[in-house]
Structures are given as structure tokens and as C-alpha cells.
Amino acid sequence: MPSTFGLDPQQGYEVRVYDVEYQPGWQARIYQPEGTGPFPALLFVHGGIWNLGTRTSQEEFNNGISSSGIVVVALDFRLAPDHPYPAQVADVNYGLRWLKANAAEFNTMPQSIGGLGSSSGGHTLMLAAMRPDDPRYTAIYTPEVEGHDARFAYTVAAYPVLDSYARYQYAKGNGIEQLVTATGNYFLNEDAMQEGSPQGILDRGESAELPPLLIIQGTADLNVPMSIPERFVESYRSAGGSAELEVLPDMPHGFVQEPGEATDQALELVKRFAARQVAVAVTPVVD
């Protein structure tokens, strides 16, 4: 790789897939490009309305990202209803610190690590990214992660639930009972839905980290209406963050889990965005 740790989105690598334990009882699936490296990395947070899903979700898409020269680390984490908010945000916060502590083992560099989240995983990712020092989110500690923070170099979110309260109201108004029930299982009450909302953080003017963000959203998404990412991008930019919204016509919620032209397009968007962000994150600053 070049000395600036550059990433060529068109480069092709064989990928080795294996699992490791990142905290007792919890696995991470590693998508490891086979090459000299070091490679940049993405921490993947799966969706599943906070109640479902595993680290193997979105496997084909993650493998496609890794084949361009990115280590993808996909976490399992605690789920509702057994583990309500903010349990999975704390798991992701710890998972990032663990990945930074073990970056050399995975042939990557701590400063290169971005985040990738889908649906409710996009919500969890953005809470973790915007509040890396929140004591509720940093509650899990082991000596292994001493000295490592939970700041992402950048974030990518596919059809994310960026306003948990607004999406709950949308689901209630449209009679989508599965979303209503699952949201209640995780947040327990409406106050928590509002407090634990990335959009709410911006609306309340809270101090927050604002890493560069790419949102990928389909216009036929009946799970997350277009109004949610559009408003979030406007608020994120107004707060001083850099946010890009890539809209794919006629694509439904969860579309990247199925092969097709739109999934290929989304894959290219992620690769190119990651390449730009990594180039900035790892280039030494010259005084």
C-alpha cells in the first residue's frame, strides 16, 4: 500500500472470513483481505429493529467491501427485549475500543477505522459515534482497551433509523405493529426514544462528535421515510458536520441484502466514500 495508506476502490483481494471473541460470550466476524496491508477497517453494526439479527447479516455486502481492501469487523451484541437501551450502544463502543487495541492483529491501523450500520444498526452506530465518551456507553471496560477511545474516523449508514422517536410515531400512525412493538421493547418508553435519538441530540444542541457521514437511502423504503434522513442531513450540516445523502430510486428497506444493480451501486458508494475518508484520516499533518 502507498505510504499514505491509500485505498483503491477498484483493487481486488481474496477475503478470509473467520470469527473471534471480542468480549466473553460475544463473537465478531472478521472479513480479512489477504494482502500485505495494512488495510483500513470498518466496524459493522447489523440491523434488526434492535431485537433481531446477527453478525452474519449482510454477509455478501460485507464481503464485497472487504474485497476492495478493507477489513470488515461485524459484531454480535446484546438485543432487546432482554437487553434494553443503551446495551447495544455500549457493546459497539467497547467493540470499537477492542478493535483499536487489536488493530495490528487484523492488519489495520486505529486511526483508519470507520463505522457501517444498517437500519437500527445505523441508529446504534450514530449514537456511538456522536457520544463516544458517554459514561453509559463506555460502561464496559477491560485492561485490554486501556488508552483507546471510541471515536470513528467516519460513518456510513444504510437506511438508518436516525430519529427513533419520529420513526416510532410514523410506525404508530401507519399501523406497522412490528416496528411499534420492537421499538418499545428496546427503549421501554417514549422519553428514552427521544433521549436516545441522533436527531434529538442535534435538535437539543448537545455537544457531539460529528464524523464525516454517508447515508444511503431508497425512495421506496416503507420502514424509514425519506423525511428522516433528509432532516438529519440538514441538521448535521448545520451543526458543523459533513454529511452526504445518496438516494437510490425505488429501492425498499434492506435492499443491500439482495444482489442486484442497486446493491452494486451502494457497494461502490461505500468503497469510494471510505477511500476519501481514509486518505484524510491517515495522512500525516505537516506543520
Block residue for cell numbers 502507498: 2
pLDDT at 147: 97
Residue from 264, 250, 266, 253 nearest 216 by CA: 266
Q: Nine-digit cell at 206?
A: 448537545
CA angle 33, 22, 279 (to 5 degrees): 40
pLDDT at 188: 98
pLDDT at 283: 63
pLDDT at 5: 52
pLDDT at 285: 45
Question: What would the pLDDT profile of 194-210 be if each residue is shown by its tens digit?
Answer: 999 999 999 999 999 99
Those residues of the chain that have pLDDT short of 70 are 1-9, 283-287
Block residue for cell numbers 444498526: 121
Residue from 131, 150, 158 nearest 45 by CA: 158
pLDDT at 168: 98
